Amino acid sequence: MAGLNVETSTTTTIDRSDDTSPAPTPREIVTRSGTSDRIFHGGAALSGMAVLAIMGAVGLFLTIQAMQALRATGFSFLTTTEWQPDRGQFGIASVLLGTVLIAFVAVLIALPISMGTALFITEISPPWLRSYLVALVDLMAAVPSVVYGLWGLFFLQGNIVGLSRWMNAYMGWLPFFSVTGAEPHSPLSSTSVYTASTFIAGVVVAMMVMPIQCVVMREVFSQVPPGEREGAYALGSTRWGMIRVVALPFGRGGIIGGTMLGLGRALGETIAVVLIISPRFDINWHVLEAGGNSVSALIALRYNEASGFGLSALMAAGLALFALTIVVNFTASWFVARSRSGASSEA
Amino acid sequence: MSTQEEVEVTTGHRAASVQPIANPGQHHSAGITVMPLRPSVALPPQERRATREFTRADIMTLIGAMVSGMAVTMLLFGTLTPLEGQPGFFVVFFLAFLVIYTVLVSLTENRPAVVDRVMTVLLGCAGIIAMIALASVIIFTVAKGWSALWKPNFYTHDMSQAGPLDPLTVGGITHAIAGTLIMTLIALIITVPLGLACAVFLNETGGKAAGLVRTVVTAMTALPSILAGLFIFATWILILGFERSGLAASIAMSIMMLPIIIRSADVVLRLVPGNLREASSALGAPHWRTVWHVVLPTARSGLTTAVILGVARGIGETAPVLLTAGFTSTMNLNPLKNPMVSLPLAAFEFVRSPQPALIARGFATAAFLMFLVLVLFSLARMVGGRPAGRLSKRQAKRAAVHSRKDLARFEASHGEVIA
């Protein structure tokens, strides 16, 4: 013990009271990187700038090209429903409305199913089943959109017109569900008024969007702190009570973020919509009625026959869609990043 | 002394270290362990309680509600009301089932329990609907394409010899398979180095500029795929005057895949523990060696996953290829000249024809594409799925071998100092 005492006394003899040296200034910290590091940093910066340039070029080029068409029409671009660029009569009122309607139907159908599935996987399913369900949902998110399109065209369309007709028959008093020229109660009437509708395209897009939303939500729900979960149970909560007061508030950012992410995908979906829908250019709120449109379907169908000016008009439409999806995506990542579950669940 | 004896009796061998409380006021200062006095009467043996969630009564309630729901629906549809239609039948059945189930449960349970049961059933239904939907997509696609999938010529021929009316024994999708492979390969050659370098820039060297790049990349993940195609169509084909080719499609695919790869690689690199980087720097490694030998190997599985996810998105996407690759029914291995076709585009074009043989080919192509993407995804799950820094068994073994080799090397050059 004595030795230790001596040692501590010697270490404390540094006495600053009679220090005559000038007051110490903080040392300058310089990082001198070698040649190899300078090359590395330069290369990394170069690739970063290259990506920035490519992405910037895409955005800028689309904007510049679209300006030609936008200048020609001005504000009426937003209000015109027709699409005849060669006659100067074109606008995105109907196609953008069609896009939003399809995406809206899709999210409306997909949201309860994806949320229910996510909660079922994280909270209810027995552990041995859970990993299989997770794999299945991931798998569903991986199925190419053309497969959903084919399924929708050849399988869903034939089976769902019955539901369309049923909804029209019993809920037709709602303005959305009314169909012009349909006689839902007559058993002999043709179902062709219900085919190729916004509703059917929306259901197909919902199939595509649902797993995307589900993946994000499941990720968030699986991060619910076990302490809070068990705390709710310990206070006597039922499982649904726990979900309502712990899991849902915790995962709110993920639910909103995942929904918006799905919405972004739904807005941009091309091929499934092209396969299903029969294009029409008027403001059509009746989702069950045959015919609808979307911006990406318009581009896919018209790009080939378009003149220079027509192409510019298509780009203007594409740009409007892009602006919409950017807003949706940024809102999504804002919500996800702001939530308690944090940025790690960003998809 | 009687208390001490009692403690010894009730607590058995542990009583040796326990002293009885002679004086309750003193036991703090003495610092002794106090054992509670247990009742000496033996409790009756308790039966093990079942902790499972569903009792037999619960399952019976569920089945009963289903049966009576079905009965009510049949009654409504057949005789009592003019309701009709198969889909409506399911909707009404579901509603009837829910109402009856709620009533049945509320006979025995209180309100929170009833809500819990009903919500559990609803969530289960959501899961079942999702799984049925997935199963119906896969089964329907494979079933429709079955007749073409089992013809060997489907994988060895292209469509140049097959007219629209020819049977399935003629023609196949070799040209589309080759096209998909070539386009994906070119897209990979463009996106992997650029994407990974950009992710490294964002995480390791970027500084302030990284924020701007990250924002732009995030914005570009929202780019609808058809706009990537339209961009290449307008610049590469119309302005620069190149013809529609595999290369043009690959560039369009790259523009679509690049933000996806960068973003997921960025997330993965962010998860690499900072102390690994610091340890490497502290050992005197230059920055590029830290990145090359520490950061990238640590995140290898995650980076592989990022690339594979990007590829899976790229392979399945039809819209950009539709605008830029053109369409052909003959084999074309040259990405620079002449149109080239990919699997999703081939499927899309096949089903536009009314001929049943072509439609079957379209579904078979879609099934093959789905199979390809699933293989890619299971690959991604096998490689990735582990957080950065956690090694698989084989990786751990390899690391151990490596470190043993290092030890031998150190010993050879420094003697026995380290050992």
Place of tokens 């089903």: B351
Segment B202-208 shows an average pLDDT of 83
CB B231 within 8 A of CB B306: no
pLDDT digits (tens, 9 = 90+) for B26-73: 445 557 888 777 767 777 888 887 766 677 888 888 899 999 999 988
Confidence category of residue A257, pLDDT binned at 50, 70, 90: confident
pTM score, two decimals?
A: 0.79
Rounded to whole angstroms, the Cα distance separating A330 from B312 reads: 24
CA of B363: how far to CAs of A155, A301, B156, B217, B368, in Å? 12, 22, 17, 35, 8
- What mean pLDDT value characterizes chain A? 82
Q: Calculate the average pLDDT of chain B.
A: 82
pLDDT at A230: 92
Whether A106 has a pLDDT exceeding 90, the answer reads: yes
Query: Residue B367 above 80 pLDDT?
Result: yes
Q: Which domains does chain B have, with CATH numbers?
A: 1-34 (no CATH), 56-148 (no CATH), 174-388 (1.10.3720.10)
State the residue range of the domain holding A146: 96-294
Substitution target in B240, B296, B318, B369 with the highest count of A β-carbons within 10 Å is B318
Least confident span in A56-65, A159-168, A335-344: A335-344
Does A221 fall in a domain?
Answer: yes
Position A159 confidence tier, pLDDT thresholds 50, 70, 90: confident
Q: How many CA atoms lie within 13 A of A188 on its CB side?
A: 0
pLDDT above 70 covers a percentage of chain B that reads 86
CB-closest option in A112, A160, A344 to B126: A112
Which of A233-237, A339-343, B189-193, B274-278 shows the lowest mean pLDDT across its residues?
A: A339-343
Helix (H/G/I), strand (E/B), else coil: A197? strand
Burial of A303 (0-12, 13-18, 19+ CB in 10 A): buried
- Percentage of chain A with pLDDT > 90? 15
Is A176 a member of any domain? yes
- CB contact under 8 Å between B230 and A148, yes or no, is no
Q: In this structure, are residues A80 and A90 in contact, taking their beta carbons and an 8 Å threshold?
A: yes
Q: In sequence order, what are the residues at sequence separation of 6 or more whose Cβ sits closer than 8 angstroms to the Cβ of residue A132? A: none
Nearest 5°: the CA angle A165, A169, A174 is: 110
Total Cβ atoms within 10 A of residue A84: 12
Token look-up 């939003």 returns A100
Contact B123 A133 (CB under 8 A): no
Nearest to A48 among B113, B119, B209 (CB): B209
Cβ–Cβ gap B363/A61 under 8 Å: no
- Residues of chain A with pLDDT > 70, as a percent, come to 89
pLDDT at A6: 42
Predicted confidence at residue A84, as pLDDT, reads 81
Query: What was the pLDDT predicted at A112?
Result: 93
ipTM of the complex: 0.79
Cβ-proximal residues to B127 (8 Å cutoff; 6+ apart), any chain: A116, A117, A120, A121, A124, A125, A133
pLDDT tens for each residue of B321-359 = 888 888 888 888 888 888 888 899 989 888 888 888 888
Band (pLDDT 50/70/90 cuts) for residue B253 is very high
Q: Largest Cα–Cα distance in chain B?
A: 108
Query: Chain B closest CA to A229's CA: distance in Å?
Result: 15
A77 touches chain B (CB under 8 A): no
Q: Which of B52, B230, B240 to mutate to test the interface with A (most CBs of A within 10 A)?
A: B230
| Residue B90: band (very low, low, confident or very high) from pLDDT cuts 50, 70, 90 | confident
pLDDT band at residue B187 using 50, 70 and 90 as cut-offs:
very high
Q: Would you say residue A86 lies in a domain?
A: no
The answer to whether residue A64 is domain-embedded is: no
- A228 is a domain residue: yes
Instruction: Please report the number of interchain residue pairs, chain A to chain B, with beta-carbon separation below 8 angstroms.
Output: 290
Summarize pLDDT for B380-390 with one digit per residue, the tens.
777 765 555 56
CA dist B113 and A160 (Å) reads: 36
Q: Are the C-beta atoms of B214 and B198 separated by less than 8 Å?
A: no
More confident residue, B174 or A339: B174
CB nearest to A45's CB, from B130, B201, B377: B201
Q: What is the largest CA-CA distance in chain A?
A: 109
pLDDT digits (tens, 9 = 90+) for A108-128: 999 999 999 999 999 888 888
Q: Do B224 and A325 touch (CB under 8 A)?
A: yes
Q: Does A290 touch chain B (CB under 8 A)?
A: no
Using a CB-CB cut-off of 8 Å, the residues of chain A touching B230 are 62, 299, 303, 314-315, 318
pLDDT for the residue numbered B264: 86
Question: Chain A: residue nearest B84 by CA?
Answer: A166
Confidence of residue A20 (pLDDT cuts 50, 70, 90): low
Any domain includes A197? yes
Which residue did the predictor score with more confidence, A167 or B227?
A: B227
Contact A124 B123 (CB under 8 A): yes
| Residue B289: C-alpha distances to residues A35, B273, B315, B331 (Å) | 13, 16, 34, 45
Question: What's the total number of domains in chain A?
Answer: 1
Q: Is the pLDDT reported for residue A189 higher than 80?
A: no
Q: Which residues pair with A84 in a beta bridge?
A: A89
pLDDT for res B200: 92
Identify the burial level of A114 via C-beta atoms within 10 angstroms of its C-beta, where 0-12 means exposed, 13-18 middle and 19 or more buried: buried
Taking contacts as CB-CB distances below 8 angstroms, the residues of chain B near A125 are: 127
CATH number, residue A261: 1.10.3720.10
Of A112, A115, A322, the CB nearest to B227: A322
Q: Taking CB atoms and an 8 Å limit, are A163 and B319 in contact across chains? A: no
Q: Is B241 left (phi over 0), alpha (psi -120 to 50) or beta?
A: left
The reply to whether A312 falls in a domain is no
